[in-house]
Structure 1
Amino acid sequence: MTADPLVLDPELERATARLLATVRGLDDAALAAPSRCPGWTRGHVLSHLARNADAYVNLLTWARTGVRTPAYASPQARDADIEAGAARPLAEHLADLEAAAARFAAAIDATPAEAWPAIVAFPSGKEVPAAQLVWARICEVELHHVDLDAGYGPADWPPAFPLRLLHDPATPRVATLADPDGTVLLTVPSTPTVTGPAHLLAAWLSGRGDGTGLTGDLPSLEAWK
């Protein structure tokens, strides 16, 4: 599957539109309720998603200009910004998400072809070509949309997303994966075979599912946490 950022850009636009539609259906009380992320409310998840978009704008600025521009000023600043925005009312969250998504979209449009291979660093320190940022943002939006626990689940992912996620090197490679008709989706040598629909396999491997609906000897994911 392609990782071309310009091919994936429309997919990001659609994922963002789905996220915003879910957010518009919430209210202030719903934002204060727990999310699926331990210790975070739904407001924390939305605050993180907005700041993540801005962090990726910084990385595209780095790629475009050649001037090292970290995603966040520091881990402490990242956490503080998420916390500061978590308790805002729905209207403020929605406006912030829309504006941050628009800034990232504008940054994609402003990135010339020669800048996409430039190496930038995620907050973890992992270095990647800037071209991976669009896919990374799709993952942030789709996975955290599920984390909102607001009616959007893995079954709602578009079919291409879980298949691409299963082949992402960052996804735990602890099993050979097959769909229910026996088609092998991913071969990992010397591992058991786990069978199920692609969205359930991706949910399990990404921590958004407990393995219900899958068959086979499910290995522990503890070492990948």
Structure 2
Amino acid sequence: MATLRAATDRLLDNAARLGDDAVRAPSALPGWTRGHVLSHLARNADALVNVLSGRPMYASAEARDADIEAGAPRPLAEQLDDVRATADRLAGTAADIPADGWSARCELRNGVTDVMARIPFRRLVEVELHHVDLDAGYTLDRLPEEFVTREIDFLTARFAGDERVTPLSLSAPDGSTWTTGAPPSGGDPVRVTGAPYALMGWLAGRTTGTGVRTENGAALPTLPPL
């Protein structure tokens, strides 16, 4: 939670340098303005309060989308107040969970379940990646190394065994390696190399493979959307 608070403060400090016109301008996410990104972050914090409190994450997919749309056009000051207040509310809810409560299972969207103890990291992913999505100078190579490594671990675990994903062997210059994708069926996995932040950006769908390459120079496999 302390790491999450620091990441949220970085995002708020950076977003505060934007103006109302910049908030209404496109973000790095297709079809979303920066206001959509900030609105989503606030509503996501509310949704995770619901999860930690044993309630459905969202009333419905339609309600989720409508709430983001409704909040997107607001002035910058209102957006920042909302992100800050909802982050505080999430932190307060987390602080009230007893130590033995974090091992309980909870339900997120689309039938996905997890243990409560993973919720702070899931929120950290939202904050860090959407900070990049604001397209306001916070780029993938500025993400904390520990976060990048944990997110690669998370994403490779998510894609492990997925028949839609070509068997992959990932490696970074520091010697770190990961495997993911469908089980190899008679052939070697596709070997992909790149700096950790570049590998993470590709796995997370933030790039089409900038700074990442296959060992044999072939085109990178296509990954399914998250």
Shorter-chain TM band: 0.7 to 0.9
Deviation of the 1:154 alpha carbon: 0.5
1:91 matched to 2:77? yes
**Matched position secondary structure for 1:170:** helix
State the partner residue of 2:224: 223
State the partner residue of 1:177: 170
State the partner residue of 1:201: 199
- Residues 222, 195 of structure 1: CA spacing in aligned structure 2 closer, same or farther, 3 A cutoff? closer
Residue ranges of structure 2 left out of the alignment (5+ in a row): none
Structure 1 residue runs of 4+, over 6 Å off?
Answer: none
Residue ranges of structure 1 left out of the alignment (5+ in a row): 1-8, 63-68
Structure 2 Cα separation of the partners of residues 218 and 164 of structure 1: 26
Structure 2 Cα separation of the partners of residues 193 and 220 of structure 1: 11
- Residues 12, 171 of structure 1: CA spacing in aligned structure 2 closer, same or farther, 3 A cutoff? farther
Residue identity matched to 2:138: Y
State the partner residue of 1:143: 129
Structure 1 Cα separation of the partners of residues 225 and 189 of structure 2: 15
Give the root-mean-square deviation of aligned CA atoms: 1.6
1:75 matched to 2:61? yes
Residue identity matched to 1:107: T
State the partner residue of 1:61: 53
Contact 1:171–1:205 (8 Å) recurs in 2: no
TM-score (norm 1): 0.88
- Residues 177, 84 of structure 1: CA spacing in aligned structure 2 closer, same or farther, 3 A cutoff? same
Contact 2:205–2:225 (8 Å) recurs in 1: no
Q: Percent identity?
A: 46
The 5-angstrom pairing of residues 29-40 of structure 1 reads: 29-40=21-32
Deviation of the 1:87 alpha carbon: 0.4
Which structure is richer in relative contact order (CA contacts within 8 A, separation 6 or more)? 1
- Residues 109, 147 of structure 1: CA spacing in aligned structure 2 closer, same or farther, 3 A cutoff? same
